[in-house]
Amino acid sequence: IDHFISVDGTSPNGITHMGLGSHRYRVTFRGPGGHSWGAFGLANPAHAMGRAIRYFQDGAAPYTANAPYRTSYNVGRMGGGTSVNSVPFESWMEIDMRSEGDETLEAVDAILQGAVQRALAEENALRTRGETLTVDVDMIGDRPSGEIALDHPFVEQATAVTNALGLFPGYARSSTDSNIPISLGIPAITIGGGGQGFGGHSLDEWFRNEDGALGVQRVMLIVLAQVGLAQVS
């Protein structure tokens, strides 16, 4: 593979040439479970998970506010339990963390790991009956950071194509499918597919196919600029 192009989002002029590193985890607390009255005193996976979220934010919030690189964290999904009147046998959450720097990403990761183990120990210490809880921390996503320079020929080709279409190039860092090839030393960029959109990943997200053809044209022209055209006799 000589070069890699990812199409993501709508931006008709954006050129993502810097990869934003990210870690994603699914954390699952497990216990025996039982009736909320008859089995009261069992260690509760949901209570442990609540503690873990609190401790994670308590540590991550001040760290990210003063970190040397922009860094984010998010508990995006939670689940578990079978009914309102039962101690759950399982509670899980999924966490996403991102950073422009590898060392800051690892630091936030360590804060999460510590929060989970602290929550587990405290919930187990509070139980008055039954077995202890266990926890699994499974990595479900790992995108390394990295970048290719603005003066790299691949970025310059994308810039020239964008200018030729009458658009002003915008350069960005993001977590996309280009992260992996960049980390492997393969020149890679991510560009938008065209159109207009807003409110990504929210209930108010919208898309309008306004000048959407520009995105398709740009993708094709960048590919042609890279591979060239066979001579026609």
Please state, in angstroms and rounded to a whole number, the distance separating the CA atoms of residues 60 and 101. 15
**Closest listed residue to residue 118, CA positions, set 43, 53, 74, 37:** 53
Dist. CA 118–CA 111, nearest whole Å: 11
pLDDT tens, 16-44? 999 999 999 999 999 999 999 999 999 99
The full set of domains in the chain, from first to last, is 4-19+146-227 (3.40.630.10), 22-143 (3.30.70.360)
First-to-last CA distance in the chain? 29
- CA dist 193 and 214 (Å) reads 8
Per-residue tens of pLDDT for the chain, all 233 residues:
899 999 998 988 999 999 999 999 999 999 999 999 999 999 999 999 999 999 999 999 999 999 999 999 999 999 999 999 999 999 999 999 999 999 999 999 999 999 999 999 999 999 999 999 999 999 999 999 999 999 999 999 999 999 999 999 999 999 999 999 999 999 999 999 888 888 888 888 888 888 889 999 999 999 999 888 766 65
pLDDT confidence of residue 171: 96
Amino acid in position 226: Q
Closest to 15 measured CA to CA, from 202, 147, 209: 147
Which tens digit of pLDDT belongs to each residue from 207-230?
Answer: 888 888 999 999 999 999 988 876
